[in-house]
Chain A
Amino acid sequence: MIIDWFTVGAQVLNFLVLVWLLKRFLYQPILNAIDKREKRIAESLADAANSKAQAAAERDRLQGKHDAFDKERADLLAKAVEAAQTERKRLIDAAHKAAEDLSDKQRKALASDAKALSAEISRRAETEVFAIARKALTDMADASLEERMSERFIAKLSELKGSAKTTLAKMLESTKEPVVLRSAFDLPSKQKAAIQKAITETFKHKIDLTFETAPEVVSGIEMMVGGQKLAWSLSDYLKSLESSVSALMKPDSMKESKVAHEGRS
């Protein structure tokens, strides 16, 4: 028969021995080696995952830090811009104020200079004009002019009314000093008498007059009593003219006249 049972038994035994031997020398070592390698690879992967997680955490931390830096930088920049704008405004305001101060100062200086110049011009013009007028009137003065001035003085006496006349009368009555009558030229007797007569008639009592010659009267007659003065002379006219010219030469008056001139034009 082709089945040899002894051989079958021997082959069973051989097979079982081969199973044990291959398990001992083949499967176990190979599987152990594979397990160790897989374990090592798994550890490497775990390490890599761990490193990756750490890197991600570090990245997140750095990102947060970066964001904080960005925010801080933006805040600082905003503050710096605000401070710069505030400083700019302050500097501009200061410059404006300084410019205005300087402008005011210059305007005042200019006004002062103009005023001084105007005053000087006025003064000189006045001086020159009046010197000329005075010279001309002095040159023109003569007896007939004196006579005419006396008449004019008498007329002015007769024109006195009211409180002025009363006050002057009281002062003439109460004064103990002589009443001085000043004229640019020595008056003729006739005119002196006429004036004496007119005063007596005006104030209703006798008043002693003292006649004096005063060249500064220019051309006219003036009566001085106790600090009061009654006069008619070209000097008064000239002074009145001088006041008018001075008023015209004042800056305000000049300004008003300028405005009026511009309005007309």
Chain B
Amino acid sequence: MRLSPDELVLWKIGAVELNATIVFTWALMGVLVLGSLFVTRHLSEKEARSNWQNLLEIVVTGIDQQIKDIGLEHSLKYLPFLGTLFLFVAASSLSSIIPMFEPPTGSLSTTVALAICVFVAVPLYGIKARGVAGYLKSYIEPTIIMLPFNIISEVSRTLALAVRLFGNMMSGAMIVGILISITPLLFPIVMTALGLLTGMVQAYIFSILATVYIAAATRNDQAPHPSIPTSEQSTNA
């Protein structure tokens, strides 16, 4: 039994290998991009519009509103990154119901890649908003003694992001696989439905945590925003 789709290598030349994770990722990217292209090709600027356009507008404005609720000003600056995080993880979770399709987020390589992206994006957005000195100063707040702890917190929360998502997605797929071999009919369906729910929750948690990290890095005042949980609270979620 495969723990990760990385193990299914379809094509390999030297160190370069084309495994199932990458291929399924491309498939998801294709569905997302082509679906978006199909809907946005005939966008209506009037009140009357298609259901698909309504759906996409709800999704995009919903994500934008979530970013604003977390406390990020100029939410549109962060919308492509954070929105894509949510959509990719959510689409990956939803794809788990497709037979023979293994969600890319079930691969620790994918979740690590996403966590690395967040890990890099947070300081980039922080420096862009507060400057290099302002951002680095946040590591020695409230005192310089907190510097190692802040660095450890930065790394550990990135690791937690990756492992949490991977664990949930992989365990869900594993449980369904095991249950299919034991009780082939009803129980796997219920667990799959439960897996869809946990998958959507994980997508929400992953993108919200990323938003919180970015908000914490870009905030100008010392007092945390009421709606922003602390990094410790968020890592415990």
Listed in ascending order, the chain A residues whose CB lies under 8 Å from chain B are: 2-12, 14-23, 25-27, 29-34, 36-37, 40
* B60: chain A residues within 8 A (beta carbon): 26-27, 30-31, 34
B117 CB–A CB distance under 8 Å: yes
* Minimum distance in angstroms from B87 CB to a CB of chain A: 7
B148 CB–A CB distance under 8 Å: no
Question: Do A25 and B6 have beta carbons less than 8 Å apart?
Answer: no
Assembled-state Cα–Cα distance A15/B26 (Å): 10
Question: Do B117 and A37 have beta carbons less than 8 Å apart?
Answer: no
Q: Give 8 CB contacts A-B under 8 Å.
A: A2-B6, A3-B109, A4-B6, A11-B113, A23-B80, A29-B40, A34-B61, A37-B47
* A4: chain B residues within 8 A (beta carbon): 6, 17, 19, 21, 109
B108 CB–A CB distance under 8 Å: yes
Assembled-state Cα–Cα distance A11/B21 (Å): 8
Question: Do A15 and B84 have beta carbons less than 8 Å apart?
Answer: yes
> What residue of chain A has the Cβ atom nearest to residue B104's Cβ?
A11
* Most A-side CB within 10 Å, residue of B37, B53, B80: B80
- Given A11-B110, A30-B57, A34-B61, CB of A25 within 8 Å of CB of B21: no
B25 CB–A CB distance under 8 Å: yes
* Minimum distance in angstroms from B120 CB to a CB of chain A: 9
Our count of residue pairs bridging A and B at CB distance below 8 angstroms stands at 121
Partner of A7, one of B6, B44, B87, B88: B6
Assembled-state Cα–Cα distance A14/B104 (Å): 11
* Minimum distance in angstroms from B229 CB to a CB of chain A: 25
Question: Do A8 and B45 have beta carbons less than 8 Å apart?
Answer: no
Question: Do A11 and B109 have beta carbons less than 8 Å apart?
Answer: yes
Question: Do A7 and B110 have beta carbons less than 8 Å apart?
Answer: yes
Partner of A37, one of B25, B46, B56: B46
* A18: chain B residues within 8 A (beta carbon): 29, 32-33, 84, 88
Listed in ascending order, the chain B residues whose CB lies under 8 Å from chain A are: 3-4, 6, 15-17, 19, 21-22, 25-26, 29, 32-33, 36-37, 40, 43-47, 53, 56-57, 60-61, 76, 79-81, 83-84, 87-88, 104, 107-110, 112-114, 116-117
Question: Do A15 and B6 have beta carbons less than 8 Å apart?
Answer: no
Question: Do A7 and B84 have beta carbons less than 8 Å apart?
Answer: no
* B37: chain A residues within 8 A (beta carbon): 25
Question: Do B36 and A25 have beta carbons less than 8 Å apart?
Answer: yes
* Minimum distance in angstroms from A15 CB to a CB of chain B: 6
Question: Do A10 and B22 have beta carbons less than 8 Å apart?
Answer: yes
* B4: chain A residues within 8 A (beta carbon): 2
Question: Do B40 and A26 have beta carbons less than 8 Å apart?
Answer: yes
> What residue of chain B has the Cβ atom nearest to residue A40's Cβ?
B45
Question: Do B25 and A11 have beta carbons less than 8 Å apart?
Answer: yes
- Given A12-B117, A18-B32, A27-B60, CB of A37 within 8 Å of CB of B84: no
* B33: chain A residues within 8 A (beta carbon): 18, 21-22, 25-26
Known pairs A18-B84, A25-B40, A34-B60 / 10 extra A-B pairs, C-beta < 8 Å: A4-B17, A6-B15, A7-B19, A8-B110, A11-B25, A20-B80, A23-B80, A26-B40, A26-B56, A33-B40
Question: Do A7 and B117 have beta carbons less than 8 Å apart?
Answer: no
* Minimum distance in angstroms from B104 CB to a CB of chain A: 7
> What residue of chain B has the Cβ atom nearest to residue A13's Cβ?
B113
Partner of A11, one of B16, B22, B32, B76: B22
* Minimum distance in angstroms from A59 CB to a CB of chain B: 30
> What residue of chain B has the Cβ atom nearest to residue A30's Cβ?
B60
Question: Do A12 and B32 have beta carbons less than 8 Å apart?
Answer: no
> What residue of chain A has the Cβ atom nearest to residue B36's Cβ?
A26
Question: Do B112 and A3 have beta carbons less than 8 Å apart?
Answer: yes
Assembled-state Cα–Cα distance A27/B80 (Å): 7
Assembled-state Cα–Cα distance A12/B121 (Å): 12
Assembled-state Cα–Cα distance A2/B112 (Å): 11
